Amino acid sequence: MVDKTEMLDELEKGPWPSFVSQIKEQAEKNPISRDLLRQLEQSYKDKKLYWRHGGVVGVWGYGSGMIGRYSARPDLFPGVAEFHTVRLNNPSGWFYNTKSLRQMCDIWEKYGSGLLYMHGMTGDILLLGTTTENLQPCFDELSSEASFDLGGSGPGIRTISCCVGPARCEWACYDTLDVTYDLTMTFQSEMHRPSLPHKFKIKCSGCPNDCVGAILRSDLPIIGTWRDTIQIDQEAVSEYINGGFDIVSYVINRCPTQCMRLTEKELGINDRECSRCMHCINVLPKALRPGKERGATILIGGKTQLVEGTIISSVLIPFIKLTPPYQEIKDLVNKIWDFWGEYARGRERVGEFIQRIGLGDFLEGMGIEPNPYMVAHPRENPHIKFEEYYREGD
Amino acid sequence: MVDKTEMLDELEKGPWPSFVSQIKEQAEKNPISRDLLRQLEQSYKDKKLYWRHGGVVGVWGYGSGMIGRYSARPDLFPGVAEFHTVRLNNPSGWFYNTKSLRQMCDIWEKYGSGLLYMHGMTGDILLLGTTTENLQPCFDELSSEASFDLGGSGPGIRTISCCVGPARCEWACYDTLDVTYDLTMTFQSEMHRPSLPHKFKIKCSGCPNDCVGAILRSDLPIIGTWRDTIQIDQEAVSEYINGGFDIVSYVINRCPTQCMRLTEKELGINDRECSRCMHCINVLPKALRPGKERGATILIGGKTQLVEGTIISSVLIPFIKLTPPYQEIKDLVNKIWDFWGEYARGRERVGEFIQRIGLGDFLEGMGIEPNPYMVAHPRENPHIKFEEYYREGD
Amino acid sequence: MEASPKARKLDIGPPDYRQFLHPVVKENYGQWKYHENLRPGVLVHVSETGAEIYTVRAGSPRLVNIDFVRRICDLADRYADGFLRFTSRNNIEFMLPNKENIDPLIAELEGMGIPVGGTGKIIHNMLHSQGWIHCHTPASADASGITKSVMDELYEYFTAKELPHRVKIAFACCTACCGGIFWSDIAILALHRRPPRVNHDYVWRVCEIPTTLASCPVTAIKPTYVDGKTSVTIDEDKCVYCGNCYSICSACEIIDPVNDVLSIWAGGKLANARSEPMLAKLVVPSLPSNPPRWPEVVSAVKNIVEVYAQNARKYERLGEWINRIGWPRFFELTGFEFTKYHIDDFKHAGQTYKKSVQLKF
Amino acid sequence: MEASPKARKLDIGPPDYRQFLHPVVKENYGQWKYHENLRPGVLVHVSETGAEIYTVRAGSPRLVNIDFVRRICDLADRYADGFLRFTSRNNIEFMLPNKENIDPLIAELEGMGIPVGGTGKIIHNMLHSQGWIHCHTPASADASGITKSVMDELYEYFTAKELPHRVKIAFACCTACCGGIFWSDIAILALHRRPPRVNHDYVWRVCEIPTTLASCPVTAIKPTYVDGKTSVTIDEDKCVYCGNCYSICSACEIIDPVNDVLSIWAGGKLANARSEPMLAKLVVPSLPSNPPRWPEVVSAVKNIVEVYAQNARKYERLGEWINRIGWPRFFELTGFEFTKYHIDDFKHAGQTYKKSVQLKF
Ligand code: SRM
Ligand code: SRM
Ligand code: SRM
Ligand code: SRM
Ligand code: SF4
Ligand code: SF4
Ligand code: SF4
Ligand code: SF4
Ligand code: SF4
Ligand code: SF4
Ligand code: SF4
Ligand code: SF4
């Protein structure tokens, strides 16, 4: 039915589930998948991709959410002459019920390759491969029948993602799912009709473990933390010790701030020195928990490599409480967009923008007071740009 | 005799020895010192220096070693109309006998202000203030009678300085005094007739404590270290412990590599993990000593602020044994001068040069193999400048 | 795109997550007290209320088909009351209120060839970018294929074998790093090794010159005129083959199977646990790209995992371990060669040199 | 300079140090076994041979006169067999083979107003640059005067009072930092705060234009023509007042007593002990320059010393202590204000931002 796929067949071997088998299964019945398989085999043979560069596609009313793709050899692989992807904004925390997923599958069976990523690297459901013609009806059905909407692409806010948070994690310091959903709904227009200098990502992690990698994978990470003291259940501590767990080696000695002490089976934490790294809590989940005065640290500027190099986000707001409707966050985002929108160069991520103009000037532009929490350390050079001086006659 | 010096008089108060008293004492008998005092008082009143900018002075056969200085108000302060300094290369380790110092004083009494720095920041004896006319005879006498020679200035090698080393310190891992003297004698010509792109400093510290601050204060620091194991005198360890010294808190817990253990009063060091930081040796000088296979780490590039920012030197040769005639060091210095001399921009310190062209290319230019000891860590970005690729038809 | 607007509602947003929460999850929302990792792939979370929920985590190739999704939906219906979720590393999670369902679910999953694992101190599912499946800019290597090859080799570390701590692996097909390189314990990054060939016939038609110039991290691109038309030239001595100009301007052709290579990186982390987040560092600058199973790459990754497994301390992430032993020791233990290419020469290169004599011989 | 060459020998080099070593030093050269700090200012070094040498360290104002030198030579003759040395921080060291000489020597020194101290975990002698004594580029502050004022205030920390560890203080009168700023535990640096005024009548006569342009760390200087003569202009929005152009080209006049300020820095170190060498960081961006005793500066320095004395652990250098408690806590404890100016905006600024959520509230 399909040509020989000697190279790809090799990738059906071995214990890990095979994407090739996934494609093959569809290739039996779906011409798009069939030619994807054939073209991919060709790529494997020639060590080279067979896609043409770029191509803008979309649906009515939206300026984002779909990535156009065309085969470089439509003559050989007509099934993938057009092979666009549709990005569906995932629900908070990637939670689904089977009804919803089945609806989505049925629609994608009708209009697309039957292949998808669960999920794309930004968090979307990525429906892999359909024709230009099918985009609009496919989207219409996804939206009206299955209640899905598009995710982001282009120079706008992208699909927000978050960790499982309070839904199943005992360490969530704020409601990551709700913040994600609320902000997503608030910023729909900017997501679907992008008009920022470059992409803008928000990711929400419930605690410093940062299970969605917000600090490096997003422009505006919201990372849960607490301001008071770690909650200790001394009985549970004793149980760990009695169970033979070496608390000193694995917890106390690994505490980066060395702020823990074990005295006669009482575990003490000097919380003023604790840097909220989570390690002790991670290792002793039954005995320790984040404090009660919970909220988040908001950071800014994370991104990967291009053009100015990978940037790990840095602290913008050391601590903020997060309660609906999360107005401070929304105001903050709008302020950033205004300022960055006005002064950024084209295709300059907010992190690059800050590195160019300097965090000090960025704060000033945003009307945020400088704070030593924002820096690892103060400057190490004397080139202070004092802003005023007296002239003769002043 | 001198005018009122109300401001400076304030600086004769207080317990720390006063430089003002030093000047005043000379001002009683020396017109240069007298006018220095008067001009300085004026500076204190007006919060402003009264020296003119620049001025090149020197003695026959030398292109360095003296800094010209002229008063901006010779009309008011004729005694310092010319106020040049003479830099005398200090003997290794700033060791003197009184005969030599007295000779030097007598000559400076005759020809100069009678004021001096013991010592200048690079290590020279700095004779402060004489006239252009006196420079040559003053130097002639210093050289022929007192056996002193000039130190460095301008774009050449500067006066080398070193810690007290084996002369009085038990930790010296090589003969800092001899290396300093030997290199000083070897590079006399480049010191006195400078022709490098910028200044070039060498400093020699006998161990990682770096008592002359070589790592930041010199372009080519030579810092003593050892390659084998720390010498432990277990009896002396016991004495410390029996004397009530808290070895665990002050030594073991502060070891940056956490490679020490105390077992039943035996102190153990996992020398393979030891980073030779000196801390344990510093704190337990009677019990611990550097190993027996001694030598030095050679670093490169240290300097202060201008233009590219302060640079802490970085490792060039992780370990080298140092025995007279120190030929490898001399060859290395010459190789650096050749390569840096050829490719540096004007007034570019060797550290700035390396930062501009990249350490990798510098090593290649020098014919030194790259080595992971040279970096804190490998690159964090993918912009690798691969040097070869295949072209069509290769 | 010409259809009438009336029929359509824009911006409805994603489905409300609340409808997708299992009743036990909903009732205990925000009230979880602690969890335990019962075995690789199985977690229990216990609530303040005493309620428990059992999570079974199953590995996924990420690129799946609708029948696969339907099959796991069947399982969710049967064992998890019709609810399921996916993780931030593309695994599938079934949350079972009923402990008895764990084993039968696992048996069914394994029967379908879907591994259970990926929790705790083991190798988690790989992250990766598009590769030859969809993108227009990958260097010569396929994301899904390399991921499959690596995960096959490290399979037992996903399902069973404990490591000192979690190890996260990723692949990206170009320096855009969609797949995540710099935040991973171990990463594979496809690289070009040859400057783009500018097709002067196209530049003026398809490229915006200022954007193209600005796309270059090393300002190697200059505007020019060729045959009276605007174009660009690339300074080959400066170009570092990042391919960004190509993604902006397709006339800067960079695709080149002959020269492209695969690089290996190590020591990144995201979590703030113990140490601050760290970027991965270059470990092997160039390995050949050999589809379909990239043996050189797979063995380099495995080498790192094994040396780490043998040498690191419990709860020590890969990067933390390397920081403790130092990079010279890492190169010694792994046997990888240290070259000029390992020495940074980008913007902040000077900050990466070894600025002390604290050395371990 | 026209004298005949014959008479002179060039390049004789400094005197051979060997003639300056006391016989006990010479005999035990390289054989020292250990030392003890008997009291501030007095060390004993014991040799493998059993020999001992007692070092008495005396503070010096560095700027001394020939009579002072002669007087200390007298002491060296009487107590140390005619030998003496100076330290890398400008102190005077007498090395006595005879223990009995320690007390009388100290008595004589103290009688002369020369303090004995500066060894061990105390405040060492300050390093400083030229200031108004000799240099042409200082911002508005005198090196010797500030040094005297600070050392007066901290006198007891030099002679007696133990601190957690050694504290090294320095002063520099311009950003060339001859006196050492970035390598000191505490440093005072005089800064300009106003761009140079270019004297176009002079530039063409006294300045080499390319060198002047290259001297600017922020490329604020551009070449220009004024009245048909070459000159330069300075972009006031870029200039960071470093004064380097002035030291290259005196027509870029920067001397300005009205605007100049003094800045305070903390946390540098040179030794490789425990932590790697570190650069000092900005603590107070601008204090007024008030001769003759600079009370604002002195009190800022003292504040740091005292807060450090109260809070740091034994053997913890100032910078190590700050790293442990974190900069937010340092600002809290010292009461210094954190401003926009503390946030780096030079080349590697982005590397100095806080890139984690490890925060101490
Ligand atoms: C589909 C996806 C990869 C995947 O296999 O899942 C993807 C695919 C592309 N990314 Fe990405 N990125 C995807 C997640 C990411 C991530 C990960 C994340 O969001 O956590 C990153 C790193 C984080 C970041 O934003 O920096 C990422 C960093 C980039 C960059 C580098 C941006 C930078 O500032 O450094 C580019 C290039 C650009 O935008 O100029 C880029 C550009 C692209 C483009 C649009 C190619 C281009 O040159 O225009 C790719 C489209 C491929 C295609 O044919 O579909 N993609 N991209 C991911 C989006 C799916 C989704 O919506 O869920
Ligand atoms: C005299 C002395 C200061 C003192 O009070 O002791 C001094 C004085 C001058 N230094 Fe310095 N430097 C002196 C040690 C230093 C040191 C300390 C050291 O060597 O350990 C440094 C920092 C280390 C370094 O080399 O980076 C130092 C870094 C500078 C710089 C900055 C160089 C850089 O690359 O960042 C300059 C400016 C320049 O060279 O362009 C400079 C320039 C100058 C000039 C020549 C001024 C100028 O703009 O041309 C000063 C002459 C003043 C005068 O009137 O005598 N001086 N200078 C020191 C030399 C005395 C001696 O020979 O013993
Ligand atoms: C399900 C998931 C969140 C989600 O919303 O999808 C999740 C869930 C949990 N994480 Fe995570 N983490 C998840 C991705 C991450 C990531 C992101 C990533 O891998 O890309 C990180 C940051 C990784 C990094 O640093 O590179 C992450 C860093 C942690 C850590 C900190 C690890 C450390 O460095 O010490 C912990 C604590 C621990 O391991 O003890 C943790 C612990 C946990 C706990 C135990 C939290 C809890 O109490 O429920 C959860 C079960 C963990 C497990 O797998 O054993 N989780 N966790 C993600 C599972 C991904 C997967 O399928 O493998
Ligand atoms: C005499 C002198 C060397 C010289 O050739 O002149 C010297 C001599 C000794 N130093 Fe030093 N150091 C001398 C300047 C330095 C410097 C440079 C400086 O201060 O500018 C440093 C690096 C400073 C820095 O990190 O900022 C220095 C860092 C050390 C250390 C490491 C301190 C630490 O950070 O832990 C030790 C070990 C210790 O203190 O236990 C040390 C220890 C010693 C010992 C104990 C070594 C020995 O066994 O003899 C000597 C007596 C020290 C004392 O003062 O208590 N010496 N020492 C210098 C005295 C300067 C002065 O008059 O105050
Ligand atoms: S980031 Fe924290 S709260 Fe969120 S899932 Fe991970 S451990 Fe739980
Ligand atoms: S959270 Fe981290 S810093 Fe705080 S006590 Fe626990 S291990 Fe220490
Ligand atoms: S650097 Fe080392 S060898 Fe030299 S004096 Fe200091 S402690 Fe002694
Ligand atoms: S020298 Fe430093 S690293 Fe080595 S054992 Fe002693 S304290 Fe530890
Ligand atoms: S990493 Fe590069 S090639 Fe791969 S999907 Fe992202 S943009 Fe495309
Ligand atoms: S490939 Fe990258 S470095 Fe080379 S010219 Fe293009 S943008 Fe510049
Ligand atoms: S710091 Fe500046 S002003 Fe002071 S002596 Fe050095 S060059 Fe001159
Ligand atoms: S003072 Fe410094 S920053 Fe300002 S123009 Fe001159 S060299 Fe440039």
| A225, amino acid identity | T
Taking the CB of residue B16, how many other CB atoms lie within 10 A of it? 26
Q: In terms of C-beta distances under 8 Å and separation of at least 24 residues, what long-range contacts does D210-213 make, across chains too? A: D210/B346, D211/B346, D211/B347, D211/D248, D211/D249, D212/D245, D212/D248, D212/D249, D212/D252
Task: Tell the burial category of B226 from Cβ atoms under 10 Å away from its Cβ (0-12, 13-18, 19+).
Answer: buried
Answer yes or no: do C182 and C265 share one domain.
Answer: yes
Contact status, residue D109 vs residue D84, Cβ threshold 8 Å: no
Within a domain: D3: no
Tokens (6 digits) for B141: 């006498």
For residue A128, what are the β-bridge partners?
Answer: A85
What is the β-pairing status of strands A220-226 and A202-205?
parallel
State how far the Cα of A91 lies from the Cα of A159, in Å rounded to an integer: 10
Model confidence at D4: pLDDT above 80: no
Taking the CB of residue A109, how many other CB atoms lie within 10 A of it? 17
> Residue D29: which of B18, B116, B166 has the nearest Cβ?
B166
What would the pLDDT profile of A21-58 be if each residue is shown by its tens digit?
999 999 999 999 999 999 999 999 999 999 998 889 99
What is the β-pairing status of strands A294-300 and B260-263?
unpaired
What residue's CA is closest to ligand 9, atom 2? C174
For chain B, give every residue range classified as CATH 3.30.70.2500: 6-144
Tokens (6 digits) for A347: 């295709």
What would the pLDDT profile of D100-127 be if each residue is shown by its tens digit?
999 999 999 999 999 999 999 999 999 9
Within a domain: D273: yes
Nearest to D129 by CA among D140, D119, D121, D138: D138
**Residue in the structure block whose two tokens are 């030197």:** B313
Question: Which pLDDT value is given to residue C248?
Answer: 93
C313: domain CATH number? 3.30.413.10
Domain B6-144: give its CATH code: 3.30.70.2500
State how far the Cα of B323 lies from the Cα of B321, in Å rounded to an integer: 6
Question: Which pLDDT value is given to residue D7?
Answer: 58
Residue D275: closest C-alpha in chain C:
C358
Answer yes or no: do C228 and C241 share one domain.
Answer: yes
For chain A, give every residue range classified as CATH 3.30.70.20: 231-289
Answer yes or no: do C156 and C281 share one domain.
Answer: yes
pLDDT-derived band at B394, boundaries 50, 70, 90: low
Answer yes or no: do D274 and D152 share one domain.
Answer: yes
The answer to whether domain A231-289 has CATH 2.40.37.10 is no
Q: Which ligand 6 atom is nearest residue D358's CA?
A: 3
Answer yes or no: do C213 and C313 share one domain.
Answer: no
C220: domain CATH number? 3.30.70.20
> Percent of chain B at pLDDT above 90?
96
Within a domain: C226: yes
Question: Which residues in chain B are closer than 8 Å to C350, comparing Cβ atoms?
Answer: 311, 354-355
- CB of B142 within 8 Å of a chain C CB? The answer is no
Q: Where are the alpha helices (DSSP H) in chain A?
A: 6-10, 19-27, 31-46, 98-111, 132-144, 176-186, 188-192, 214-217, 234-242, 247-250, 279-283, 327-343, 350-357, 359-366
Q: In terms of C-beta distances under 8 Å and separation of at least 24 residues, what long-range contacts does B54-58 make, across chains too? A: B54/D136, B54/D250, B55/B84, B57/B84, B57/B132, B57/B135, B58/B135, B58/D1
Q: What is the mean pLDDT of chain B?
A: 97
Give the structural domain span for D208: 197-253
pLDDT-derived band at D279, boundaries 50, 70, 90: very high
Contact status, residue C135 vs residue A153, Cβ threshold 8 Å: no
State how far the Cα of B65 lies from the Cα of A124, in Å rounded to an integer: 70
Model confidence at A2: pLDDT above 70: no
Nearest to D310 by CA among D296, D295, D297, D325: D325
Answer yes or no: do C80 and C174 share one domain.
Answer: no
- The closest ligand to the CA of C134 turns out to be 1
Taking the CB of residue C189, how many other CB atoms lie within 10 A of it? 28
Instruction: Using the mean position of ligand 6's atoms as its centre, give its distance from the Cα of residue A291 in Å.
Output: 12
Answer yes or no: do D189 and D201 share one domain.
Answer: no
Q: What angle do CA A98, A99, A100 make, to 5 degrees?
A: 95
Q: Where are the alpha helices (DSSP H) in B47-144?
A: 98-111, 132-144
Mean pLDDT, to the nearest integer, of D302-331? 98
Within a domain: C350: no
**Residue in the structure block whose two tokens are 């010592």:** B119
| A31, amino acid identity | P
State how far the Cα of B326 lies from the Cα of B179, in Å rounded to an integer: 7
> Residue C277: which of D276, D351, D356 has the nearest Cβ?
D356
Answer yes or no: do C180 and C208 share one domain.
Answer: no
Mean pLDDT, to the nearest integer, of D282-292? 98
Pick from C76, C111, C146: which residue ends a domain?
Answer: C111
Model confidence at B178: pLDDT above 50: yes
Is any atom of ligand 12 closer than 6 Å to the C-beta of D218?
A: yes
Nearest to C170 by CA among A215, A121, B172, B168: A121
C79: domain CATH number? 3.30.70.3340
Answer yes or no: do D34 and D101 share one domain.
Answer: yes
Is any atom of ligand 9 closer than 6 Å to the C-beta of C243?
A: no
- CB of B185 within 8 Å of a chain C CB? The answer is no
State how far the Cα of A109 lies from the Cα of A145, in Å rounded to an integer: 14
**CB contact (8 A) between residue C343 and residue B313:** no
Question: Which residues in chain B are closer than 8 Å to D214, comparing Cβ atoms?
Answer: 307, 345-347
State how far the Cα of C65 lies from the Cα of A17, in Å rounded to an integer: 12
What is the β-pairing status of strands D261-266 and C42-47?
unpaired
> Percent of chain A at pLDDT above 70?
99
What would the pLDDT profile of B299-347 be if each residue is shown by its tens digit?
999 999 899 999 999 999 999 999 999 999 999 999 999 999 999 999 9
Model confidence at C145: pLDDT above 50: yes
How is A210-255 classified by DSSP, letter by letter?
A: -TT-HHHH-SEEEEEEESS--EE-HHHHHHHHHTT--HHHHTGGG-
Task: Tell the burial category of B238 from Cβ atoms under 10 Å away from its Cβ (0-12, 13-18, 19+).
Answer: middle
- CB of A108 within 8 Å of a chain C CB? The answer is yes
Instruction: Using the mean position of ligand 10's atoms as its centre, give its distance from the Cα of residue C221 in Å.
Output: 7
Question: Which pLDDT value is given to residue D100?
Answer: 97
Instruction: Using the mean position of ligand 3's atoms as its centre, give its distance from the Cα of residue A168 in Å.
Output: 12
Answer yes or no: do C43 and C158 share one domain.
Answer: no
- What fold is seen in the domain A161-227+296-374? Sulfite Reductase Hemoprotein; domain 1 (3.30.413)
**CB contact (8 A) between residue C343 and residue B378:** yes
State how far the Cα of B2 lies from the Cα of B77, in Å rounded to an integer: 12
What would the pLDDT profile of A155-190 be if each residue is shown by its tens digit?
999 999 999 999 999 999 999 999 999 999 999 999
Question: Which residues in chain C are closer than 8 Å to A18, comparing Cβ atoms?
Answer: 61, 148
Answer yes or no: do D282 and D335 share one domain.
Answer: yes
Mean pLDDT, to the nearest integer, of B342-356? 97
Answer yes or no: do D182 and D320 share one domain.
Answer: yes
Number of domains into which chain D is organized: 3
Instruction: Using the mean position of ligand 12's atoms as its centre, give its distance from the Cα of residue D245 in Å.
Output: 6
Angle between helices A98-111 and C66-80 (to 10 degrees): 170
Residue B380: closest C-alpha in chain A:
A310
Within a domain: C117: no
Within a domain: C121: no
Contact status, residue C35 vs residue C46, Cβ threshold 8 Å: yes
Task: Spell C292-304 as b/e; 16+ CB within 10 A means b.
Answer: bbbebbbebbebb
State how far the Cα of A18 lies from the Cα of C113, in Å rounded to an integer: 9
Contact status, residue A207 vs residue A297, Cβ threshold 8 Å: no
Mutate to test the pocket of ligand 5, among A95, A162, A164 (most ligand atoms within 8 A of CB): A164
Contact status, residue B334 vs residue B286, Cβ threshold 8 Å: no
D209 to D178, D194, D201, D215: CA distances (angstroms)? 25, 21, 14, 10
Q: Which backbone phi and psi does A13 adopt, to 5 degrees?
A: -80, 165
Model confidence at B226: pLDDT above 70: yes
What is the β-pairing status of strands C281-287 and C261-266?
antiparallel
Q: Which backbone phi and psi does A219 adopt, to 5 degrees?
A: -75, -30
For chain B, give every residue range classified as CATH 3.30.413.10: 161-227+296-374
Within a domain: D9: no
- CB of B336 within 8 Å of a chain C CB? The answer is no
What are the residues whose beta carbons fall under 8 Å from the beta carbon of A83, sequence distance 6 or more?
A32, A36, A51, A69, A70, A71, A113, A128, A129, A130, C134
Within a domain: C3: no
Q: Which ligand 8 atom is nearest residue B278's CA?
A: 1
